Structure 1
């Protein structure tokens, strides 16, 4: 198969966002330094990224035409199988991209090894080109990762690489009915987190840290708890801060989801109900009264290109 373009996915640096906000670099510098911040850190971070990105683009241009897609435009960009997808940025950008490429293999590059851990970023600007050549010749290996899916009763759907949040857009309580493995409850809570295997060390782990700390407050001998190990086709849901009252319950607060055991949530929120994925609040489904969401493992998988 011949390829038309390489799609270079990137996010704006903190300095670029500051300049957008304050119109000029000088004004951005004045703002940061007036608050006691070190503007040099923003500059050095930006310089390193721009240098890395330019190197990636220069090398790609020698073998294939390329286009740049900013993270903001991922939900509306149309990916196809004749594109080589190259992500340059942090791990979160890989997660954001994986939801929209419909199984196209992703070559993920760490532009700054001193700043970014790069759990999902096996390549550097200096060593990624053999991976591009392997993808173009269909001789590559991938790590496949399951995605979570929220599907509404009107046909809308949203995917997540790490986790889904189901709740209210503000800090008010979320009101809904939850159904899982034959049990149902009405809830008033801070929302539901549904995590994939890939995301279990992120937001989900912080919830377990909180519950461990609270339990230790009561019992100092309590051992540290952590999320259970998930299979490739499993998700884990956790209800945050369920409130028990005459009309709401708090027993159905966690469980493992798989093909035969999805999670069904019916919204009781007249306004401001949302479902968003991977911490990106701007990419969401409205989840207001009358909406019913079925949560489970998506049929698609993320495919991350491996070294060698």
Structure 2
């Protein structure tokens, strides 16, 4: 007998909960915010909206289904199953944080704060949940992966950053696989490789700053953009390879020439690849996709 579907509700601790945990009481948290010109009521109201959304989504799950909840901080310890339907209740970034732990399960993004969130990935309201749980169509969003020469692997929905852990100057050699062997030694603030979904965030800011002629990819397009941040020209380092695109099987290859580099995805610096002198890492389109409903 096959298992009943399981609805996995993904959420994160609200700002209000974090403030009360840090300061001990509502009153102390209110005093802290007031000293910085903020009103705790605005924070508390966002917390209440999130809790109401969670309650409404929970109530929409059919009684014949199983349920589970996971907080963002516990995602790396949660075991998703093939029959899961993942309901992310929160912000766009929470969908990206969840994507790397999935293997084809459908994802429903529920916006808890319409008008405050862009709604790129959390496209729906809590009252839409019941109909969405049984939806059969989904967008297949392209993801990016980094694979190190020691088999470490990192997957991200928006972008992967490679550079020094504290964002100081990183030293490495950069080249494109299958590009005639062109390789350049560089010193920079790091390298950013992003998807069409990431083109609404960090990648877009770099693209706009440079007024780059490379067209931004669509979220479902199997094409990535990469940019070197603040490349430094010197007798030993160059700046000729600072931007480009990756599609198909093309990979951007970086070989470390300093004590330590890290690679992390979607802003999750706590979950990073650790790379040391002489190691190489290849970055390109990932075969895995995020199945985003609606």
* Short-chain TM bin: over 0.9
The structure-2 alpha-carbon separation of the partners of 1:226 and 1:55, relative to structure 1 and needing over 3 Å to count, comes to farther
Report the counterpart of residue 210 of structure 1 in structure 2: 209
Using the TM superposition, give the Cα deviation of residue 52 of structure 1 relative to its aligned residue in structure 2, in angstroms.
1.0
CA distance in 2, matches of 1:153, 1:76: 25
Using the TM superposition, give the Cα deviation of residue 39 of structure 1 relative to its aligned residue in structure 2, in angstroms.
1.3
- Mind listing any 5+ residue stretches in structure 2 that lack a counterpart? none
Using the TM superposition, give the Cα deviation of residue 291 of structure 1 relative to its aligned residue in structure 2, in angstroms.
2.1
Q: 225, 238, 253: which one pairs with 2:242?
A: 253
Runs of 4 or more above 6 Å deviation: none
- The answer to whether the 8 A contact 2:216-2:225 is kept is no
1:133 is paired with a residue whose SS is coil
Report the counterpart of residue 92 of structure 1 in structure 2: 93
CA distance in 2, matches of 1:24, 1:259: 54
Report the counterpart of residue 193 of structure 2 in structure 1: 194
Q: Does 1:229 align with 2:216?
A: yes
Report the counterpart of residue 291 of structure 2 in structure 1: 303
Report the counterpart of residue 216 of structure 1 in structure 2: none
CA distance in 1, matches of 2:191, 2:100: 20
- Mind listing any 5+ residue stretches in structure 1 that lack a counterpart? 135-139, 213-224
Report the counterpart of residue 280 of structure 1 in structure 2: 268
CA distance in 2, matches of 1:171, 1:85: 33
Report the counterpart of residue 67 of structure 2 in structure 1: 66
Report the counterpart of residue 153 of structure 1 in structure 2: 149
1:28 is paired with a residue whose SS is helix
Q: Does 1:289 align with 2:274?
A: no
Give the aligned CA root-mean-square deviation in angstroms: 1.6
Using the TM superposition, give the Cα deviation of residue 299 of structure 1 relative to its aligned residue in structure 2, in angstroms.
1.1
- The answer to whether the 8 A contact 2:227-2:244 is kept is yes
CA distance in 2, matches of 1:264, 1:305: 33
Using the TM superposition, give the Cα deviation of residue 208 of structure 1 relative to its aligned residue in structure 2, in angstroms.
2.5
Aligned length: 288
1:266 is paired with a residue whose SS is strand
- The answer to whether the 8 A contact 1:200-1:227 is kept is no
CA distance in 2, matches of 1:298, 1:132: 26
CA distance in 2, matches of 1:66, 1:203: 34
Report the counterpart of residue 219 of structure 1 in structure 2: none
- Alpha-carbon displacement from aligned partner over 1:38-70 (angstroms, at most 9, x marks no partner): 211101110111111111112226342311101
TM-score w.r.t. the length of structure 1 is 0.89
Using the TM superposition, give the Cα deviation of residue 3 of structure 1 relative to its aligned residue in structure 2, in angstroms.
2.7
